[in-house]
Amino acid sequence: MNKTNSDNLAKELIDIASCTFLKKDEYENFLHWKTKRDGCPEYQAFLKRTKRTLYSNSLNLDPYFIVGLVESDGSFFLGIEGSTNKIRPYFSAFLNTENKQDREVVTSIQGFFGVGNVTDVAYKTATKEERTGVKFEVNTVWECFNVICPFFEQFPLKGEKLISFLKWREALKILVNDAGLLKSNKFRNVTKAKLYHYAFNINPNSSTRKKELSEVLASVNQKDTACPEEISIINSVMQRWMDEFLKSHLLPSSYISGLVCGDGCFTISMNSVLKSIQISFSITTPDIKLLFAVRKTLGIGNVFTLPAPSDEKMSQRGLKKANDCYRYGVFSKEDFINVLIPFFKNSPVFGSKGEAFTKLSDVLLVLKSLASPTGRVDYNSTSFKKIEQEIKTINRKGRYRRVNAKKEELLLLEASEEDLIVLDSVKSLDS
C-alpha cells in the first residue's frame, strides 16, 4: 500500500468515527441509513421473497441504544468454514438470559434492522454452568454490507469494538468490491490470505477457531504471517482517535443505557445484622477507557481493577488466556436518587436490567420517604416490611458483591485526564 492509499484509508476511518459531529442531527443520520437500506436491490428482493415488510420494533429502540448494547454484547466476526476455509461474515447481538423482556429487546433489534434471525443459544459459563441466551444474528454478505455496515458508519461505536468493526468492514469490502480477485487465478490466494488475516485479527482469542492462522494460510500457499498494512493503520489511527474522543466528549445517554443492558448490573441487599441496605450499580468490561468516559458523562462513581484469573485457572476451565477487566461502580444512595434515576428515566434501560432498575428505584424512593429527619430508617416499621419482599426479587439469581478495593486498586479519579487515559499508567498502579 503506497502513502496516498494509506493517507486515504486513515482519512476514511476518521470520517466514519467522527460522523456524529457533522452538521446532521441523529434523526437525519437515521433517515440516511434507512434510505440506503431500503434502496438496496437485495433488500427489496428479500422483502418480496419472504412476503413481509418489517419485523416488529416494539420497543422503538433508539439507534445509540443498539450501539451501546453491541459495544457490550455484540460481535463482528469472520468465520472460516470447514475444509474449504470459506470466509463468512457474521454480526450478532446477544443477551445471556432467557428472560422474556430480554427476548423483546433482541427481537426489537431485529425489527430495527429488518433482517437477520433471532435464536435461542445454549452456552456454558466460565464455571461450566449451562445457561440459555437469546441472539440476533446476520450472516449473509449482502445483509452485513448493505444494512449493518451503513448503520455503524452513521452511528459509530465509541470503544474498542469500533476497531473490530472497521476491520470487519474492510474485509466485507474485499468480499463485495474485490469479488473478481477472489475468482482470478492470479490474485485469488493473495486475496484470501488477506481475509484470513482480518479474521484472526478481529477475534484473536475466539474459542470457536479450530485452526491456526498458519494452517489456513498454508491452504492457499501463503506463508507470510505478518499483519497486512491496512490492519496496522486501523489499529494505530483509531487508538489515537479514541484517546482524543474519550477525553473531550460525553457519551450519548442512550448509548450508556444500551451498555448497561448488556454489561450493567443493579443490586440491592439487606444486612440483617447492621440493619442496613446496600445498593450498587456497576458496568464491567475490559475497556477501561470507556468506563472513564461513562464516569465523565455521569459525573459520579469510581473505576476499579478486576485482575484476570490466572492462566492455570483459565486452562482448567478450557478457556484461553483472559485479559484484566475493569468495573465502574456507584454505591451511594444519594447519587442513585439524584443522578441515576433521572438519567435512566430519560434514557431507559430495557430488558431484565431495566426491570431491576425500576424495582431498585421504587425501593429507594420509598426508603427516602420513610427516613426520619436524621436520615435513619426504621427497618422494623410496617411500611418497610411491605417493600422488603420487593427487595428480595431484585437479582434473584445473584448476590450482592461490593468491590472491596484496596488503595492501589482504586483508580485515582482526581488524576489528570492524560494520566487516566493511558492504560499503561493504570497497570503501573498494581506493580
Average pLDDT over residues 206-230: 73
Q: Which of 33-37, 171-175, 183-187 has the highest mean pLDDT?
A: 171-175
For residue 400, what pLDDT is reported? 36
Residue type, 22: L
Least confident of 54-58, 121-125, 324-328: 54-58
Three-state secondary structure of 377-396: CCCCCHHHHHHHHHHHCCCC
Average pLDDT over residues 184-188: 61
What nine digits make up the cell of 409?
486498586
Q: Could you give the C-alpha distances from 343 to 137, 252, 298, 299, 340, in angstroms and in order? A: 30, 11, 8, 11, 5
Q: Are 58 and 65 in contact (CB under 8 A)?
A: no
Q: Are 158 and 255 in contact (CB under 8 A)?
A: yes
Q: What angle do CA 245, 165, 197 make, to 5 degrees?
A: 125
Q: What is the pLDDT of residues 70-90, one digit of tens each?
A: 999 999 998 887 777 788 889
Q: Are 426 and 286 in contact (CB under 8 A)?
A: no
Q: Which CATH number fits domain 252-430: 1.10.10.10, 3.10.28.10, 3.40.50.300, 3.40.50.410?
A: 3.10.28.10
Look at 314 and 349; give whichever has higher pLDDT: 349
Look at 53 and 189; give whichever has higher pLDDT: 189
* Of the candidates 108, 4, 118, the residue with the CA atom closest to the CA atom of residue 63: 108
The dihedral built from the CA positions of residue 272, 275, 279 and 284, taken in this order, carries a sign that is negative
Average pLDDT over residues 310-329: 65
Backbone dihedral region of 380: left (phi > 0), alpha (psi from -120 to 50 degrees) or beta?
A: alpha
Least confident of 213-217, 256-260, 297-301: 213-217
What nine digits make up the cell of 265?
448490573
Class of residue 307 by CB neighbours under 10 A (exposed 0-12, middle 13-18, buried 19+): exposed
State the pLDDT confidence band at 245, using cuts at 50, 70 and 90. Answer: confident
Q: Are 305 and 425 in contact (CB under 8 A)?
A: no
If residue 90 lies in a helix (H) or strand (E), which one and from where to where? strand 86-95
Look at 213 and 182; give whichever has higher pLDDT: 213
The whole-angstrom separation of Cα 252 and Cα 260 is: 13
Q: Could you give the C-alpha distances from 79 to 91, 136, 218, 259, 364, in angstroms and in order? A: 11, 16, 17, 25, 47
Least confident of 213-217, 235-239, 257-261: 213-217
Q: Where are the alpha helices (DSSP H) in 249-347?
A: 253-263, 288-298, 311-316, 333-335, 341-346
* Of the candidates 427, 344, 360, the residue with the CA atom closest to the CA atom of residue 395: 360
Q: What does pLDDT average to over the chain?
A: 76
For residue 348, what pLDDT is reported? 95
The DSSP call for residue 187 is: T
Average pLDDT over residues 361-373: 78
Question: Considering all CA atoms of the chain, what is the largest pairwise distance in Å, rounded to the nearest integer?
Answer: 82
The whole-angstrom separation of Cα 218 and Cα 378 is: 72
Instruction: Return the percentage of the chain with pLDDT > 90, whole number.
Output: 25
For residue 207, what pLDDT is reported? 62
Look at 351 and 366; give whichever has higher pLDDT: 351
pLDDT for residue 402 is more than 80: no
What top-level class would CATH report for the domain 3-247?
alpha beta
For residue 205, what pLDDT is reported? 66
Residue type, 310: S
Please, where in the chain does CATH 3.10.28.10 lie? 3-247, 252-430
For residue 279, what pLDDT is reported? 87
The whole-angstrom separation of Cα 299 and Cα 422 is: 20
Residues in CB range of 108: below 8 A, 6 or more apart: 56, 57, 58, 59, 60, 61, 350
